[in-house]
Structure 1
Amino acid sequence: MTAQPIDPDGSGMWGPDPVRQRLANHTIEDVLALPDDAPRVELRDGVLVLVPSPTIGHQNIANRLWMWLFHNAPDDVAPATAVGVAINHRNTFEPDVVLIKRPVVADNHYVDAEQVVLAVEVVSSGTRRRDRLEKPADYADAGIPHYWRIEQNPVHVYAYDLVDGRYELAADSAEELIVTKPFDVRLSVRDITP
């Protein structure tokens, strides 16, 4: 089975097969086989979920955080944006920013959850429930040791550490985030605020 493009209205736009969507039987192989012109998707319990396009403000926060991590993270990890994380055979996510254990294969779009040290989501109006509730639970189930949630307007960073299978709040700030994991971080929130 594949996630072959469906064009029900003849518009030339890719869309998931509605029958397979109802059956919830898509797998990561389907995601990896999507055509180049397909929109970004996440796989949630076998259903392809379109990932909304981020706003300029959202992208600015994620890009500034990527740049900060690029300059400040230790050499054994690498930051990335718009990279898929394979949670399991029926679930994938596309965090806004990830910190990945090296070595990193530069031409891969997906990494295994075991390779992710930190997953970051910038919360937007259309992603509040997923970023605050659903994704943290799934990232925790996948064993990703650290999760950061960044709220906008005003920018506020919440840092969580995985403890006994659940995320516990390690620190939060609208001014300066200070944590010791995944490395010694002193992040001025001003540095990631557009």
Structure 2
Amino acid sequence: MTAVPDWMIPPAEGFTAEDLDRLPDLPPHTELLDGSLVFVSPQKYFHSLVMYLLEAGLRTAAPESVRVAREMTVRLGQFDRPEPDLVLIRASAASGTHQETGFEAEDVLLAVEVVSAESVRRDREIKPPKYARAGIPHFWRVEEDERGRPVVYVFELEPAGQTYIGVDVCHNRLKVTEPFPIDIDLTAIDRY
């Protein structure tokens, strides 16, 4: 029997958001959901292409007051620190030293999850309600269609109920006015 590292044995109350910065040798992209560590499987090429496509479009459209961050954790509470594929954050949340390991939910304007085979349940059922309860105003869920292109499901926060309301389903072109005007040709994935 092979010994496991001490960090793989959770405390009785579960791991906390701060533990992600203290635990040694965690695998890349480890998330914290409900006090449990979540290890992510290797991603398919589609996942990577979609992230590059959306990241480039968001960077082009973002005003000076906003920054785009890729694969950075977001502290939603004591026992939740997921890692969205992309986030839009307030520029003031990024220090000049760029040493952040994550961001606070109140600084996030948009969380984006690109669904993969191993993340379907987390990206559709577990993370969106957590993002909504934390007050993140916009959420996009990206799925792959039968042609190998992204379909973006656009959600906005309904603050009274702390839930997301679907406002659009974007095939071929992602064109929204919130959180600022964004227009991304989703078919460009064919040329990547």
TM-score by length of 1: 0.86
Deviation per residue, 1:5-34 (Å, 9 max, x gap) = xxx726xx86743353xx342111211112
- 1:77 Cα deviation (Å)? 0.5
2:156/2:166 contact within 8 Å kept: yes
Corresponding residue to 2:21 among 22, 32, 45: 32
What pairs up with 1:4-83 in 2 under 5 angstroms? Answer: 9=2, 16-20=7-11, 23-35=12-24, 37-39=25-27, 40-83=29-72
The 2-side partners of 1:24 and 1:99 are apart by 31
The separation in 2 between residues aligned to 1:171 and 1:186, in whole angstroms, is 14
SS in 2 for 1:186: strand
Aligned equivalents of 1:86, 1:64: Cα separation in 2: 25
Q: What residue identity is the alignment partner of 2:35?
A: G
Structure 1 pair 181/15, CA: closer, same or farther in 2 (3 Å)?
farther
What is the alpha-carbon distance in structure 2 between the residues aligned to residue 15 and residue 156 of structure 1? 41
Distance in structure 2 (CA, Å) of the matches to 1:14 and 1:143: 35
**2: distance between equivalents of 1:76 and 1:15?**
42
Counterpart pick for 1:176 among 170, 173, 177: 173
Distance 1:70 1:189 in 2: 15
Whichever residue aligns with residue 159 of structure 1, its letter is V
Distance in 2, matches of 1:187 and 1:48, equals 34
For residues 118 and 133 of structure 2, the distance between their equivalents in structure 1, rounded to whole angstroms, comes to 23
Identity of aligned residues (%): 35
Shift of 1:190: 1.7
Query: Partner of 1:58: helix, strand, or coil?
Result: helix
2:111 counterpart of 1:111: no
Paired with 1:56 and 1:100, the residues of 2 have a C-alpha distance of: 26
TM-score between the two structures when normalised by the length of structure 2: 0.87
Quote the Cα distance in structure 2 between the aligned partners of 1:72 and 1:14: 44
May I ask how many residue pairs the two structures share in their alignment? 182
When structure 1 is superposed on structure 2, of 177-186 and 124-133 the one drifting more is 177-186
In the alignment, which residue of structure 2 is the partner of 1:187? 184
Please give the alpha-carbon distance, in whole angstroms, between the structure 1 residues aligned to 2:33 and 2:10: 16
Deviation at 1:192, TM superposition (A): 4.6
Distance of 1:191 and 1:78 partners within structure 2: 23
Tell me, which stretches of 5 or more residues in structure 2 are unaligned? Answer: none
Larger RCO (CA within 8 A; separation ≥ 6): 2
Structure 1 residue ranges without an equivalent (≥5): 1-7
Deviates more, 1:143-152 or 1:62-71: 62-71
1:162 aligns with 2:151: no
Question: What does the per-residue CA deviation read over 1:123-160, in whole Å, with 9 as the maximum and x for residues that have no partner?
Answer: 00111111111111000010000000110133101110
Task: Tell me the distance in 1 between the aligned counterparts of 2:110 and 2:80.
Answer: 18
* Maintained 8 Å contact 2:61/2:181: no
- By how many angstroms is 1:64 displaced? 1.9
**Partners of 1:80 and 1:100 within 8 A in 2:** yes
- C-alpha root-mean-square deviation of aligned residues, in Å? 1.9
